[in-house]
Structure 1
Amino acid sequence: MNLTDTPVLILTIVLFVASLALAMAQWGGRGILRGRVRTAEQRRGPLRALSYLGTVLLCQVTAVAMVFVVVNNENLIYDSWGDLLGTSNHVRAVPVPPKDGGLSGDQAAASGSPVPKVVQSFHAPDSDAVPRSVKQTDLKGRLSGVDGEVLVWTPPQYDDPAHKDRTFPVVELLAGYPGASSTWFGTMDVIAQLEPLMKSGQVAPFILVSPRVTLLGGTDTGCADIPGKVNAETWLSRDVPQMILDNFRADRTADRWALAGYSAGAHCATRLALAHPDRYRAAISMSGYNDPIGEPSSLTAKDPKLRETSNPLYLLTHAATPPNVALYQTGKKGDGLEDATALQRAAKSPTTVTPVETTGAHLTSTWKPLVGPSFKWLTGIIPAR
């Protein structure tokens, strides 16, 4: 049972109400609520005092648990008990990834190779917070050694017989840290916001893909390949896209793929787009950062070399040629705006950077209203066809 399942919320409410009822019964039975005078012996009884204290603590614990579940369900910070306790490990192995030939290179290699397609079965989302129109699969990363869930939503045109031979552009949605793969479809309400815009033609009919990004318990991977620890970059930029290409009518060229993320996921979106312009055409960043130390628990922030080379500004300024990547960077002063303007100043054609100043706190309530405007911008980069 996931943390975000409705029965968990109901259970915490029932336990809280039961603890209050126990306290009322205990205090009332001893005459506290009816004003009866207790004897000196009753007042001094240590066991009785401990029972009263225990009941008060029980009320507090159940109240805190209920509030935590309500807040977690609202923001989808933790999707599983393992993520909450920091015990989840989705790294099966850490092989050395094969040479990266880009999205088109992978397709060329696959066409002349006996390697079988990554054919997946899909089921309803594990999280009750995710609309039933979303499909979930549990993917074993062939190249990365990472195992994790991937949530996929197809646009309204996808199942229309008039578009049966059409392929569709793709956006990978990256959650922050801590954050669940369900957050974009739950708290961020991306389907309810974008589906009407796709039907009206204001937003291109993107396939939306939200892979697991928390791979090592209570640690942020920085979306990087770290020898001996995790191949997060290969998981997100190679295994997940290959699965989408093998199971959906997705466009097979890099200029039809993009990323979007918030907070640590925003850092990853920008970083992956700049590191792999042969895989992605654009990235949307909501309150992201350049220096990996923006997330102190990030593995890339703890290694001086990785901290330098994982910085999107470093990637941009050290690229052999300016990447053909468009970046949409939102943030407020002190929370992403300065990083966005630094990228804008360093960008050279054909790289483009669009900074957008916001004023809200570092919360999903700030990022959720940005979904519509950012995807309209993205449609200007990757239009419908």
Structure 2
Amino acid sequence: MNLTGNTFFVITVVLVVIAVLLPLLLWSRVRGPALARGASRLFMVLFAQATAVLVVFVSVNNANGLYDSWGDLLGTSDHVESALDLGPTGTGGKQISSLPRVVQEFEKVRDPSLGGGLLKTRLKGAVSGVQGEVYVWLPPQYGDPAYANKKFPVVEVLSGFPGSSKNWFRTLHFQDRVQPLIESGRVAPFIVVSPRTMLGDKDTGYANIPGKVNADSWLTVDVRKMVADNFRVSLSPENWAIAGYSAGAHGAAKLALQHPDRYSAAVSLSGYNDPAAEKGSLTAKDPKLRLENDVLHILKSAKTPPRVSLLATGEGPDGYGPGLALQRVAKPPTVVHLKATKGGHVTPVWSRQLPYAFEWLTQQMRPRV
């Protein structure tokens, strides 16, 4: 039985009803020695508490997309086949364009809660050693004969931790927020790609950690190459942007600044610079890894300012402050834009930012789309 969805949630609600009725019907009818009666009544109380906690957890999980499966929740999912040392480029010294062509089969997603137009595939990353699902949303123009010879721009979207690759469509309501703007021409006809980012029971920091996980190469090499091989997409950085919220915002800013040869723009919704801001992050445990994956350090230590436009949103120290720190040290051609928000570190706030974020991306990439 799936962790998410209506079936399991209905079962938890039924259990709560049973837990409430049990003491009402049986409390005074319990028979036997005092110890047995006490144990029976204690069981009813604990059962009621446990079911109440369970239904709250399932409600929160379904609303926020924290855990997509039992394996994610229990830490038993294994999406990492190998984690070789791929060097500073994350490709093992190979050119991305020279890697073998990746041909994937896609299925249409028939889940009303995710909106329409979604495709799904399961990718085995030839470079990263990671395997997982990748969702692809195609704009209405993709099937239009007038666009038959056109290559489309791409936005790769990252969820927070814990988080599901479905979140941008289920909890942020991307289609409701942005598709009307694409249809009206206010937003460019972006292809939106949402790969799995939860690759274990610890936050990977969206980094390559030899011997543990190559999350960076999964997202910036394997996923990008697969999309370019299966859709009308160029691998040129001018046609790629990356966006994320919370931990995914940290990942989006970090990966774009580390790989200006792969992305030209990034959106950070309530992001942070220091990996240690996310408790349990694998990159925060080692001082060297922590520094190498600190977004502010990456920008300050770059030999050549990366040709990347970054939008940072948030409230106070939650997103806006880290973005302001980046803006203060950014040198052309790096550009950092800021947008203050209100409402806290929650999904509805990020969802409301999507129209502005995608209009901003359209402006940054307009000469190239």
Q: Where on the TM-score scale, by shorter chain, does this alignment land: which range?
A: over 0.9
The amino acid of 1:89's aligned partner reads D
Please give the alpha-carbon distance, in whole angstroms, between the structure 2 residues aligned to 1:275 and 1:352: 15
Q: Which residue of the partner structure matches residue 176 of structure 2? A: 192
Q: CA deviation at 1:253?
A: 1.3
The amino acid of 1:120's aligned partner reads Q
Q: CA RMSD in A?
A: 2.1
Q: CA deviation at 1:296?
A: 2.0
SS at match of 1:251: coil
Q: CA deviation at 1:100?
A: 4.0
Please give the alpha-carbon distance, in whole angstroms, between the structure 2 residues aligned to 1:265 and 1:101: 19
Q: Does 1:131 align with 2:112?
A: no
Task: Pick the structure with greater CA Rg.
Answer: 1
Q: CA deviation at 1:19?
A: 2.5
The amino acid of 1:252's aligned partner reads L
Q: Does 1:159 align with 2:159?
A: no
- Describe how 1:155-304 pairs up with structure 2 within 5 A: 155-217=139-201, 219-304=202-287
Q: CA deviation at 1:313?
A: 1.3
Q: Which residue of the partner structure matches residue 23 of structure 1? A: 23
CA distance 1:321–1:48, change in 2 (3 Å):
same
Please give the alpha-carbon distance, in whole angstroms, between the structure 2 residues aligned to 1:101 and 1:230: 12
| Contact preservation (8 Å) 1:2, 1:126 | no
| Large movers: runs of 4+ above 6 Å | none
Please give the alpha-carbon distance, in whole angstroms, between the structure 1 residues aligned to 2:207 and 2:110: 26
- Describe how 1:333-352 pairs up with structure 2 within 5 A: 333-352=316-335
Gaps in structure 1 of 5+ consecutive residues: 31-41
- Describe how 1:28-177 pairs up with structure 2 within 5 A: 29=29, 45-97=34-86, 100=89, 105-107=95-97, 109-110=98-99, 115=100, 117-125=101-109, 129-177=113-161
Q: CA deviation at 1:131?
A: 2.6
Please give the alpha-carbon distance, in whole angstroms, between the structure 2 residues aligned to 1:15 and 1:259: 42
The amino acid of 2:74's aligned partner reads L
* Number of residue equivalences: 366
Q: CA deviation at 1:99?
A: 7.5
SS at match of 2:123: strand
Q: Which stretch of the first structure deviates more once superposed, 152-161 or 271-280?
A: 152-161
Please give the alpha-carbon distance, in whole angstroms, between the structure 1 residues aligned to 2:344 and 2:216: 28
The amino acid of 2:231's aligned partner reads F
| Contact preservation (8 Å) 2:90, 2:217 | no
Q: Deviations over 1:227-248 (max 9, x none)?
A: 1111110001000001101111
Q: CA deviation at 1:96?
A: 3.2
Please give the alpha-carbon distance, in whole angstroms, between the structure 2 residues aligned to 1:101 and 1:138: 21
| Contact preservation (8 Å) 2:224, 2:235 | no
Q: Which residue of the partner structure matches residue 369 of structure 1? A: 352
Q: CA deviation at 1:216?
A: 1.8
Please give the alpha-carbon distance, in whole angstroms, between the structure 2 residues aligned to 1:211 and 1:354: 26
Q: Which residue of the partner structure matches residue 38 of structure 1? A: none
CA distance 1:167–1:225, change in 2 (3 Å):
same
| Contact preservation (8 Å) 1:79, 1:180 | yes
Q: CA deviation at 1:72?
A: 0.9
Q: Deviations over 1:62-103 (max 9, x none)?
A: 12111111111111111111221222221101123377499x
The amino acid of 2:136's aligned partner reads V
Query: Structure 1-normalised TM-score?
Result: 0.90
Q: CA deviation at 1:267?
A: 0.5
| Contact preservation (8 Å) 1:258, 1:280 | yes
The percentage of counterpart residues that share the same residue type is 49
Gaps in structure 2 of 5+ consecutive residues: none
SS at match of 2:267: strand
| Contact preservation (8 Å) 1:4, 1:129 | no
Q: CA deviation at 1:187?
A: 0.5
Query: Structure 2-normalised TM-score?
Result: 0.94
The amino acid of 2:4's aligned partner reads T
Q: CA deviation at 1:13?
A: 1.4
Q: Deviations over 1:247-282 (max 9, x none)?
A: 111233111100000111000000000000000010
Q: CA deviation at 1:126?
A: 8.8
Q: CA deviation at 1:128?
A: 6.7
| Contact preservation (8 Å) 2:320, 2:339 | yes
Q: Deviations over 1:41-75 (max 9, x none)?
A: x6962212211221121122112111111111111
| Contact preservation (8 Å) 1:225, 1:233 | yes
